[in-house]
Amino acid sequence: MNLFPNLFSSSKKNTPFANDEGIARLKTVFQKTGEVYSDLPLFHQHQRHIIPCMMIHPDAGVVLFNFFSLSEKELTGVKASVASKNDKDAEIKSSDTKSFIQLRFDEIFHTQISPVRSILICTHLSEAEFDALDESFHILIPKNLALFSDSSDEHYLKSVIQKGSQSYDIAKIKQAIFGEFVLPDKNILLSLEQQKAVHLPFEKECLIKALPGSGKSSVLVAKALYEKMKDPSLKLIFLGKLSCNIHPLQAMIFQFIENSHWGLNPAEIRVISFESLQRYARAKERYDLVICDDISEEDLVTARKLTNKKGRLLLSSSYEIDEVSVVHPLVQNYRLSSALCAACEGLVVEKLSENLSLHSGNTFMNTLLILEKLLKETEPKEISILHHNKEELLMLQNEINTFFTPISSLFDAPHEQEELLLYPLSHLSCLNNRYVIVILDTSAPYDPIELISRADTKSFILSQDEKIHHLIQGETRETP
C-alpha cells in the first residue's frame, strides 16, 4: 500500500474532523508554552506552502505535525511503501516544508536558529494497534516520532520536548517564518494581539479598532498583503484618510513587501485618499478587497460601493462602527501614555493640561503671544498652526509675518524648509511637530480622540467653545 500521501501530504483521504480533534488536543496540551498553527500558508517568492499543523516551542523549536487517519481495520494485512515521485496525491511533503523553513532561517539569520522536526499523529490507531501492524510500517514510521489515539498528555510532552536541550528564540523563529508579522521599518515582530489580527479570518467586513499610536495602520497593511498572498488573484485597493496619508501608506506597503520576500509587485497595488473616494465609486471598477485606514461611518457607505459582489472590507478606526460586526480591538499603545489613552476613552486625567493647553480670548493675539514664547526655545520649523478656514489661515499668516521676520507659509504654497507652516485642521493626524497650535471656533469639525492624542507633544488649543473645554476635562463626548 502506497502510504506517502497519507503520511506527508494534505490528502483528501484524511478526515477533517480527526485533524481538528488532533489540533485541538495539541493546543490544549501546549497552550501555556507553545504556539500551535493549523492550515497555515507560508510564502516565499511566489511559492506557497500549506502546513496542516505546526508548533513553535521554546524547548522544541519548530515541530511539523502530520495526521494519519486510517484505522487498524483498514491496515490489517497491508504492507507499507514510500510513494514514488510521480504520486499525484503527494503534492505537499513535510520534507519540502522543512527545507522551506530552513531556507528562511538561512536567508534571515544566516544560520539554523532552530531544529525542524516532523511528528505523525495517528488519530485512529492506538499504540498497541500500531505495534500489531506489518513490520513495513515500523520501518517507515519510527515509533518515537509518532503519537497515537491513546497517547497521554505526558507522552505528548515527552515526544515533543526533549529535556536538557537548548532553548530556542520563538520571536526569531516567527520573524523568519512569518513575513506578515515583521514590522519592516524597525525589523521587530508585531505584538501578539497584532499578530492575531493579521491572521483573523473574516467573510465580509472587519474593523481593527484602536487609538492613535496602536499600530493599526501597520496591522491593516500586513493583513491586506497576507490576504493577497493567500489569493494572488485578489484585486485590492487602499484608502488613506487624506492625501498626506498616501505616501506613508505606499512606503509601508513597499517595506512590508520587500521585507517579506513574497515577490509581490507594489506598483500593482493602488493607494488613494478618501478625498478621491466619490470619484472612484462612480467608476465601474470594483475590487475584491477594499482597505480603509481610519474610516468614518460617513465614508463607509461609499467604500462599500467599491467592492464587487463577493468583495470584502478591511477597516480601521478609533471608534466603533455599529454596522460592522467583526471587530478586533488593539489595546496596547506605542505612542500614547496610559493616561492619554484613558483620556481618549473619556476619563478625567490629571495633568493633561501640561501638554494640552487651553486658551480663550482673541485667537490671533493668543497665537502671537504663544509664538513669541516658543520661538525663544525652538526653531519655526518645529511649530505648526492649524485652522479649518483657509481665509482665516491667510489672515493669520499675514499677522505672523508682520509681527515677526517673515517666518510662515501655507503648507501647499512654495516655502523654505525652515519656515513655520500653516495647515487646514484636517491635517492634524499627519503632523509630528514638537509644537502644534490648533485654532477651533464653534463651526470647526474636529475628532475628539485625535485632538486629545496630540497631548503626547506640546499642543495649544485656542477656542472659546465650551464644548472644547469640557472635552479636555474628560466629560462625555459624541463620536464625530
Question: What's the mean pLDDT in 272-297?
Answer: 89
Does residue 8 register a pLDDT over 70?
A: no
Question: What's the mean pLDDT in 20-49?
Answer: 84
In whole angstroms, give the CA distance from residue 246 to residue 443.
27
Q: What percent of the chain has pLDDT over 90?
A: 38
Classify domain 338-472 by CATH number.
3.40.50.300
Q: What is the pLDDT of residue 206?
A: 94
Q: What is the pLDDT of residue 78?
A: 85
Question: What's the mean pLDDT in 123-144?
Answer: 89
Q: Tens digits of per-residue pLDDT, 40-98?
A: 888 776 677 888 899 999 999 999 998 888 888 888 888 877 655 554 443 334 557 88
Q: What is the value of pTM for the model shown?
A: 0.80
Residue of 156, 130, 133, 310 lying closest to 233 (CA atoms): 310
In whole angstroms, give the CA distance from residue 350 to residue 284.
52
Name the residue with higher pLDDT: 295 or 162: 295
Question: What's the mean pLDDT in 238-245?
Answer: 89
C-alpha grid cell, residue 268 = 500593482
Residue of 199, 207, 188 lying closest to 225 (CA atoms): 199
Cα within 13 Å of Cα(313), Cβ side: 26
Question: What is the residue extent of each domain of the chain?
Answer: 4-175, 179-329, 338-472
Beta-ladder partners of 148: 122
At the second CATH level, the architecture of 179-329 is 3-Layer(aba) Sandwich (3.40)
Question: What's the mean pLDDT in 406-413?
Answer: 88
What sign has the CA pseudo-torsion 12, 24, 206, 455? negative
Does residue 429 register a pLDDT over 60?
A: yes
- With beta carbons less than 8 A apart as the criterion, state whether 213 and 333 touch: yes
Question: What's the mean pLDDT in 385-410?
Answer: 90
What sign has the CA pseudo-torsion 92, 94, 96, 100? positive
Question: What's the helix, strand, coil split of the chain in %, to 5?
Answer: 40, 20, 40
Q: What is the pLDDT of residue 316?
A: 95
Same-fold call for 179-329 versus 338-472:
yes
In whole angstroms, give the CA distance from residue 360 to residue 469.
10
Does residue 250 register a pLDDT over 90?
A: yes
In whole angstroms, give the CA distance from residue 447 to residue 471.
11
Q: What is the pLDDT of residue 480?
A: 46
In whole angstroms, give the CA distance from residue 408 to residue 34.
57
Q: Which of 39-43, 195-199, 422-426 has the lowest mean pLDDT?
A: 39-43
- With beta carbons less than 8 A apart as the criterion, state whether 341 and 333 touch: yes
Q: What is the 3-state secondary structure (H, E, C) of 47-108?
A: EEEEEEEEEEECCCEEEEEEEECCCHHHHCCCCCECCCCCCCCCCCCHHHHHHHHHHHHHHH
Q: Which of 10-24, 159-173, 283-297 has the lowest mean pLDDT?
A: 10-24
Mean pLDDT of the chain, nearest integer: 84
Q: What is the pLDDT of residue 93?
A: 45
Q: What is the pLDDT of residue 12?
A: 39
Q: What is the pLDDT of residue 374?
A: 92
Q: Which of 111-120, 159-168, 370-379 has the lowest mean pLDDT?
A: 159-168
Q: Which of 18-27, 174-183, 265-274, 318-327 has the lowest mean pLDDT?
A: 18-27
Q: What percent of the chain has pLDDT over 70?
A: 89
C-alpha grid cell, residue 4 = 506517502
Q: Which of 121-125, 162-166, 268-272 has the lowest mean pLDDT?
A: 162-166
Q: What is the pLDDT of residue 475?
A: 46
- With beta carbons less than 8 A apart as the criterion, state whether 51 and 100 touch: no
